[in-house]
Amino acid sequence: MNKDENQIIITVTGKDKVGIVSAVSACLSEHSVNIEDIKQTIMQDNFVMIMLCDIEKMSVSFKEFKDDLVKLGEELKMEIWVQKKEIFDKMHTI
Amino acid sequence: MSYVNQKHIIETIKMIKIHHLDIRTTTLSLSLRDCCSSDVKKTGQKIYDKILKYASNFVSCANEIENEYSIPIVNKRIALTPISLIGESCDNIDYVYLAQIIDKAGQEVGVDFIGGFSALVDKGFTKGDLKFFEQIPEALATTNKLCSSVNLGTSKAGVNMDAVLKTADVIKKTAQLTKDSDSIGAAKFVCFCNAVTDNPFMAGAFCNVNEAECALNIGVSGPGVVSSAIEELDKTADFGEVSNLIKKMAFKITTSGELIGRRLAQKLNIPFGIIDLSLAPTPQEGDSVAEIFKAMGLEQAGAHGTTMALAMLNDAVKKGGIMASSYVGGLSGAFIPVSEDAGMIEAARLNSLTIDKLEAMTSVCSVGLDMIAIPGDTPNSTIAGIIADEMAIGMINKKTTAVRIIPVIGKTVGQDAHFGGLLGTAPIMSVNKFSSEIFVNRGGRVPAPIHSLNN
C-alpha cells in the first residue's frame, strides 16, 4: 500500500464533554495507529474533532479497528466515522 | 488542517448519512464464451464453475471496501454473456435448466442479482432464440436472483416487431406465473432498443460478446445529494446556475464511484470497466429523482415542464460526471422508475404522472419506461403497443430505451403492487383503452431509419 492508502480520517462529532480526546487517543494507541494531525472545532453547537492518522503499523484488521472505535463512540455517546483519506481527496479536487 | 479541508469532510459525511450517497451497484461482468458445449449439463457445469471461480470473493471484497470508505455499496451483481448464445450449441438445450444453475451460482457467491439471461434479436431470431423466448417465463418464475433482458431494436437494424409481440407474451406469461407475489417475475425482465454492452444496472445488465473476459462496472447513485443542493439554491437562481450546481454534485458523486470501483477491481485483480454516470433512486425518503423536479420548482413530477427539467438534469449529470472518470459507459443519466422512487410513487398516486407523460420523459432520460405497474387484464397487444412506442423513441433518437412493465395479475387501477426491497411499491396506472391489435400483429421488421445510413 502506498502512503495515501494508509492515511485515514477519523471524525468524531457530538456533545462536548471531558475525556473525548483521551479516550479516542487511547484506543488508537492500543491498535498502534499513529496520529499525524488533529483539529477540534465547534460547529452548530456540536463538538467536531477531525484526526489524520496513519494505519501502516496497525495491529489489527481495518474492520476490527473500526468496530472498536465505533463501539467506543457509542459508549461516549459520540458519532465516530473512520474513512480512508483518499475519498476526500478524490471527491473534492479535480 | 491543510491536508484536507474540514468542510469537505463534513460535507462528505452529510452526503452519505443524510442524502443517501451510495454506490448503487458494483457489477462483475463475466464472459461465458468459453462455456459452450453440445451437452446442456456440461454447459451448466462450466457456467457454474466459472461464476464461482471469478466471484467467490466478490461480495466479501466489496464489503471490505465499503467499510474502509464508509460508502454503502447497495448491490453486488454479476452480468453474463447472453445465455441464448451460450446455450444454442447444446443438442439438448434446456434454458430453464441453465437459468436455475445460474441462480444457484448467484446464491452461492451471495450476489443480489445475476443478469444475462438475455437474447439479442433486433434483426431476427435464430432457432435457439425462439426456444429461448419460450422458456423465459418459466426461468424467471423458478429463480430468485436471475434477471432477463432482450434487445428488440437498434438504430442500425430497425425494430423486430415479431419480437415485440413475443416479448409482450413473455411479460404477460411471466406475470401470470408469479401472480402470487404481485407478478414480480415481470419486474426482473426488461426489453431494450439499443441495449448497451456494459450496463451495470438490472434487470438489463449483460456482458456482450465484444466485452473482455471480465471487468468491474460501477453504477453510482445520489439523487438526494442533488435535490438537497438545489433546495439550498435561491428560488430565483437561473437555469445556468442550477445546471452548474448539478454538474458539481455529479462530479463528486462520480469520483466516489470511480475510487470505489478502482479499489475493488484492484482487490479482485480484474480490470476496471466503466462507470455509469447515473442518478438512481430508491424507495427511501430523500433518495428520489422526483424530488429533484420539485426542488427545481415543479409542484409534482409530471407537471408541465417535467420533461425539460429531466432533460437538463440528464445532461448536467453527464457533463459533471465525465471529468470524474476515465471510462464512462453503461446507460449514464437519470433513471425514472416509478416503484423505486418515493416521489414518483406519490406523483402517480396523484395522477400527476401518467404513462403518457412518462413516455415523453423517456425521450430525454437514461433509459425508458421503468417499473410501471399496469392492470393485470391489459391485453398483450396493448403491452406490445407500449413497447413499440418506446422502441420507436430509441430507434429514431439513437438512444437506449427500455420497457420494464408489470401487468399485475388480479389487480387494477386504484390498487398497489408490492415488490419489496429496492423494487418498491407501485400504484397501478391506467393504459389507453383503445386497441393496438391489428397494428402490432402486422409482424416483420420496422426498417432502420434513414439516418442509420451514415457511412
Which chain B residues are within 8 Å of A41, Cβ to Cβ?
Answer: 6
The CATH number of the domain holding residue B310 is 3.20.70.20
- pLDDT above 60 (res A83): yes
Residues 6+ apart with CB under 8 A from A85: A4, A7, A8, A9, A52, B3, B4
Q: Answer yes or no: do B232 and B187 share one domain.
A: no
| Interface predicted TM-score (ipTM) | 0.92
* pLDDT tens-place string over residues B102-119: 999 999 999 999 999 999
- B13 to chain A: closest CA residue: A81
Residue B205 bridge partners (DSSP): none
**Assigned domain for B446 exists:** no
Chain A contact present for B438, CB below 8 A: no
Asked if residue B281 and residue B418 are part of one domain, the reply reads yes
The verdict on A63 touching B (C-beta cutoff 8 Å) is yes
DSSP string for B268-305: HTS-EEEEEEEE---SSTT--HHHHHHHHT-SSTTSTT
B378 & B269 share domain: yes
Question: Is the per-residue pLDDT at B417 higher than 80?
Answer: yes
If asked whether residues B187 and B283 sit together in one domain, one would say: no
pLDDT band at B81 (very low <50, low <70, confident <90, very high): very high
The answer, yes or no, to whether residue B94 has pLDDT greater than 60, is yes
Average pLDDT over residues B136-144: 98
Cell of B283: 424507495
Map residue B432 onto helix, strand or coil: coil
**Domain shared by B262 and B357, yes or no:** yes
B248, part of any domain: yes
A39: nearest CA partner in chain B: B1
Lowest-confidence range among B49-53, B142-146, B324-328, B429-433?
Answer: B324-328
Question: How would you write B307-337 as a 3-class SS string?
Answer: HHHHHHHHHHHHHHHHCCCCCEEEEEEECCC
| The predicted structure's pLDDT at residue A93 | 82
**Interaxial angle between packed helices B58-69 and B239-268, expressed in degrees from 0 to 180 and rounded to the nearest 10:** 130
One domain for residues B178 and B246: no
On whether any CB of chain B is under 8 Å from the CB of A31, the answer is no
Judge whether A9 is closer than 8 Å to chain B, CB to CB.
yes
Q: Do the domain assignments include residue B452? A: no
pLDDT of residue B5: 85
Residue B234 lies in a domain: yes
| Architecture, CATH, for domain A3-92 | 2-Layer Sandwich (3.30)
Do B176 and B229 lie in one domain? The reply is no
B204 CA to chain A: closest CA distance, Å?
29
pLDDT band at B285 (very low <50, low <70, confident <90, very high): confident
Which pLDDT score is estimated for A1?
55
User: Are both B302 and B423 inside the same structural domain?
Assistant: yes
Looking at the structure, tell me whether residues B422 and B273 fall in a common domain. Answer: yes
Q: Strands B158-160, B445-446: parallel, antiparallel or unpaired by DSSP?
A: antiparallel
The answer to whether B258 contacts chain A (CB < 8 Å) is yes
Q: Which helix (H) or strand (E) holds B383?
A: helix B380-397
- Rounded Cα distance between B347 and B306, Å, is 12
Mean pLDDT, range A21-41, rounded to an integer: 94
- Reported pTM: 0.94
**Beta-carbon separation of B1 and A41 below 8 A:** no
Higher-confidence residue: B20 or B78? B78
b/e map of B92-106 (b: 16 or more CB within 10 Å)? ebbbbbbbbbbbbbb
B362 and B224 in a common domain: yes
* Count: domains in chain B: 2
B92 in any annotated domain:
yes
Q: pLDDT class for A44, splitting at 50, 70, 90? A: confident
Q: Which domain holds residue B137?
A: 29-193
